[in-house]
Structure 1
Amino acid sequence: MTTETATHDGPYVHGYSDTEARRLDDQANTLADLLHAGTAYPPGSRVLEAGCGVGAQTVHLLAASPGARLTAADISGESLARAQARVAAHAPAAEVAWHHGDLHELPFPDGTFDHVFLCFVLEHLADPAAGLAALRRVLRPGGTITVIEGDHGSAFFHPDSPAARATVGHLVRLQSDAGGDALVGRRLHPLLSAAGFSDVTVRPRTVYADASRPSLVEGFTRRTFVAMVESVRDDALSAGLTAPAAFDEGIADLRRTADPGGTFHYTFFKAVAVKP
């Protein structure tokens, strides 16, 4: 979907504004039950959250795994400061070790962690398999990695609109030009296998919003997906991908999917694998 981090591979296409931080928080809170279901770590286990960003997912990890020894890492010092403030506000008793650095160059010894968790990170890496291999090194044999990614190709909606689909396509193109892949969700099984993990399982986590599910219409369709696409307007225009009127028409049509009579569908993919 979108991540909260950046790496040396390229810039974070959504930026680091206060608006983006709020959008990430809305996304994490709206999708917490869907994405975090089944993820809980035993007390005392050593867990690395790679690409913690502003901590939107961190607080949900801590809530599900009291007593786990969490290390949260991110390359953005600004995002890491936001994450520390968020954890202090939402989980003041939690003890978290914070690391400022690139996930490709983690300073931890081999086999430091029992579990690794990353959410909306691989989509921003030019070489996701290399990133996974770097994380595999710091995971102990028998330890698990959990990876959650979106796939913008899974978005479909009513009323359908060529203009809306084209506008989503501009976001996909911008992310590709920045060295990432907004369609990475469909690749999780082969990526994890290529990085040397075993027992790879990938399961879809589907969001469907219509008038009978107003919290998802507001929290996901409007405040997560449409807001995410709308945030790249200036970049899409600067890159010459579209004209202002065409982009705005696409956004207006996306917003109609959140009106009465509209529907919106999106699929996330959650993978769990083991280091042999």
Structure 2
Amino acid sequence: MDVATAVGYVHGYSGVETRRLGDQADTLAELLHAGTHFPAGTRVLEVGCGVGAQTVHLVAGSPAADLVSIDLSVESVAVARARVPAPNVRFQVADLHDLPFADAEFDHLFVCFVLEHLADPVAALAAVRRVLRPGGTITVIEGDHGSAFFHPASAYAQATIDCLVELQARAGGDGLLGRQVEPLLTAAGFRDVVVRPRTMYVDRTRPALVEGFTRNTFIAMVEGVRDDALAAGLLTSGEWDRGIADLRRIVDGTFHYTFFKGIAVK
């Protein structure tokens, strides 16, 4: 995601986080990218591409589109460039609030897991709207940590998730943003907004999702904020350890999470 516009990216920039982003994108590709196809020759701007985890799937779904993928992080763009050596993709370091592109330069915008980290998502959407041509479309995908529920239930496990939500709020973002996609797009001036939930349900009959999503995406994301949660005094180390132990138990139970995918027109 575009780090310039967030007060702080709560997940950090470690190699572990880079691997988690890749696992997340690959596991969720069918769920999130279904229906996303940009025609040959159209110009597409991916806003906040990070390490290119979603770019891989944008290229797979639209191999003949002309894609520009931006992020403020020089290091992330370098990783993305190495990860996605496709001829129809150009990576560029840029701030989404000050895009180095002309008005109406793009036919489509793609914004995935970016708005949740921003202090003012409406201002961000309005800024990127400038470079979209009239009649062009924007696709926005966001998760919502409040949609997570699981069996076996555990107040301790829920407390670790609540820590992630709280830390993201303190960093200037919103871990519950998915439910707001429609009003945010409307407030930024887009029209014909259509938002639909993309629900992930996992149990032991779906071992690939147990590993790729429950364990390597969601639980790994929560585990990544341990040090910050303890430093902030949100939980004691004992409470945290019990919560994570209970969270790991759901790999033998059931887990549910909802993403929200919105498409709108300028």
Normalising to structure 1: TM-score of the pair? 0.95
1:8 Cα deviation from its structure 2 partner: 3.2
In structure 2, C-alpha distance between the alignment counterparts of 1:80 and 1:101, rounded to whole Å: 10
Partner of 1:249: 242
> 41, 45, 67: which one pairs with 1:44?
41
Structure 2 SS opposite 1:73: strand
Secondary structure in 2 matching 1:258: helix
Aligned to 1:77: 74
The separation in 2 between residues aligned to 1:203 and 1:61, in whole angstroms, is 19
Identity %: 68
The answer to whether structure 1 residue 271 and structure 2 residue 265 are counterparts is no
**Are 2:63 and 2:88, in contact at CA under 8 Å, matched by a contact in 1?**
no
Whole-Å separation in 1 of the counterparts to 2:2 and 2:257: 22
Give the length in aligned residue pairs: 266
What per-residue deviation string (whole Å, max 9, x for no partner) do you get for residues 199-237 of structure 1? 000000000000111111110000000000000000111
Q: Is the 8 A contact 1:7 1:125 kept in 2?
A: no
2:208 is aligned with 1:215:
yes
Question: What's 1:168 paired with?
Answer: 161
Provide the alpha-carbon RMSD of the alignment: 0.8
Kindly report which structure 2 residues correspond to 1:39-118, keeping only aligned pairs within 5 A, or say none: 39-88=36-85, 91=86, 94-118=87-111
Note if 1:29 corresponds to 2:30. Answer: no
> Aligned to 1:108, what secondary structure does the other structure show?
coil
Say whether 1:195 aligns with 2:188.
Answer: yes
Structure 1 runs of 4+ with >6 Å offset: none
Q: TM-score, normalising length from structure 2?
A: 0.99
Structure 1, gaps ≥5 residues long: none
In structure 2, list runs of 5 or more residues that go unmatched. Answer: none
Shift of 1:193: 0.3
> Matched residue of 2:251: which SS?
coil
Q: How does 1:119-198 map to 2 (within 5 A)?
A: 119-198=112-191
CA distance in 2, matches of 1:87, 1:268: 25
Question: Per-residue deviation at 1:97?
Answer: 1.8
Q: Distance in 2 between matches of 1:220 and 1:96?
A: 27
Partner deviation per Cα, 1:10-46 (whole Å, 9 max, x = no partner): 1111111111000000000000000000000001000
